[in-house]
Structure 1
């Protein structure tokens, strides 16, 4: 039986490269929580993650409750969102365009709220998302930064392979546009079934991201322009998260609105054929 800060750990519900997450129940009674045990984490790191997670709207994440240190690392306790599942389950298949627009709009809206709070998540990837029926939450602020904050001067780039923006790999100060790039990578993956910067290894992936030429073949019609904009090599050329949310929601409305029935033309009137426009680590 393991007890952390007055919470009894019940079962493991997630595991990543540096942490394991458990479902837990308070000994004093109350709703269940999630306890994230961070291997080799320090009091300073858990305190910082708690502070950043507390700075964002609670409706965007799993609200933080407490933090501290154990003999083997540190921990963070958050609300447990019943009925939500890890975004990692989205991988391995493609999504229909209507579902993708809904998902993309919800995620972009959450990112816009984070950015309004002065936070750049820096690690937007499937395993750091919790997905409900029509809702998306962003979790794990372990490497998040405040807008304009300089990266740590330890010679290491903090990011996850496959989801980092070019400026992140260069160790530059990060802005909300970093999360927009990850959003574009995820939308492309869920549309096509493969990563737009897929490579044979870490060095190949870094080279492809640095080239500024994502592979977007097979992208859903109607998503091409917004995904390409989100994946712009220059962060100044990317739209904001709020603009992405508006584009997705507008696309969802248009997809759900049936086309008006065409009026029949009089049989005696001849018309010419209408022209049809066709528009595709942690390191």
Structure 2
């Protein structure tokens, strides 16, 4: 595929935002509505793989029905023929900002910023869980922070509540954020996402993970056996937040809070409007003026299997 190529008679490709094993993400112009969009196209080497085609279609359907302010919006889905190959594509909202992973390269965040981001991710997860969807890959690289708020992206390996990883014993997800029950082969459930959100919050607040683990094997063992270190003392951080993060990291799924509770506690700490607003399907857009994205010459979008 090339710059300037027209998809479905309306989406004109402009530049590659990222590429990975599963897909290539382009910034494109929607010539019909006169707006920028992000078009994720299945990688050419997967054109004949029905499972990968199913995954990208399932992602599009799952996100399209969420319609939540903190979830990247899906506008369209289709298939195209490129050099004789049938490629699935999904057209998404163009998110102009930075990933939380990029922001954390400079170290931990001010606690008010961290809780503001976490509250909005919690709200996005609450909406997904209410619809029976588990994200399965909550991590800083899949959280986009913009001047207008936070967007949770990459539902490419999402699954319905109760699903398993399938045959072969291969775990689906990022090892650093796998919940203990997932490591043990248990079904996915909302608490799986809450565990990952707890780890992400710990990292954002402390600037490090709650245990020393540098290899995949060490990470997996830590999830199951290691007791998380308590958060270090952070001046001004409400004790309710520290307790909440510890509960998110509980080994037993039943001992973790719901995503709604996480969004409410973090939202109150961050000074967001009434927590009841976070329950709505159209959560309020929260301006992050204090963490306005640094312009890097182009927007950054992380999609399933794509590293920008």
The bucket for the TM-score relative to the shorter chain is 0.7 to 0.9
CA contact (8 A) 1:88 1:127 kept: yes
1:56 aligns with 2:66: yes
Is 2:197 the partner of 1:186?
A: no
Q: Which stretch of structure 1 is more off in the superposition, 83-92 or 117-126?
A: 83-92
Equivalent pairs counted in the alignment come to 254
Matched, 1:85 2:98: yes
Per the alignment, residue 229 of structure 1 pairs with 247
Superposed, 1:109-188 pairs within 5 Å as 109-133=123-147, 135-188=149-202
How far residue 5 of structure 1 moved from its aligned partner, in angstroms, is 3.4
Runs of at least 5 residues in structure 1 that lack an aligned partner in the other structure:
255-281
SS in 2 for 1:162: helix
Tell me the TM-score normalized by structure 2. 0.75
Q: Secondary structure at the match of 1:32?
A: strand
Partner of 2:217: 203
Bigger drift between 188-197 and 1-10 goes to 1-10
CA distance in 2, matches of 1:196, 1:74: 40
* Deviation of 1:27 (Å): 4.2
Checking the alignment, whether the CA contact within 8 Å between 1:162 and 1:197 is kept in structure 2 is no
Q: Secondary structure at the match of 1:61?
A: coil
Kept in 2: contact 1:104–1:187 (CA 8 A): yes
Q: Higher relative contact order by CA 8 Å / sep ≥ 6: 1 or 2? A: 2
Q: Distance in 2 between matches of 1:101 and 1:53?
A: 24
Q: How does 1:3-18 map to 2 (within 5 A)?
A: 3-6=6-9, 7-16=11-20, 18=22
Mapped contact 1:109–1:241 kept (Cα < 8 A): yes
Whichever of the two has the greater Rg, that structure is 1
Aligned in 2, Cα 1:206/1:100: closer, same or farther, shift over 3 Å?
same
Q: Contact 2:122 / 2:260 at 8 angstroms: preserved in 1?
A: yes
Structure 2 distance, partners of 1:94, 1:186, is 11
Deviation at 1:116, TM superposition (A): 1.1
CA apart distance, 1:197: 4.1
Query: TM-score when scaled to structure 1?
Result: 0.81
Does the aligned pair in 2 maintain the 1:124–1:183 contact within 8 Å? yes
Query: Aligned-residue CA RMSD in angstroms?
Result: 2.4
What is the alpha-carbon distance in structure 1 between the residues aligned to residue 118 and residue 21 of structure 2?
26
Task: Using the TM superposition, name which of 28-37 and 211-220 deviates more.
Answer: 211-220
Q: Does 1:68 align with 2:79?
A: yes
1:212 to partner: Cα distance: 4.1
> Do the aligned partners of 1:50 and 1:67 also contact (CA within 8 Å) in 2?
no
- Hey, what does 1:100 align to over in structure 2? 114
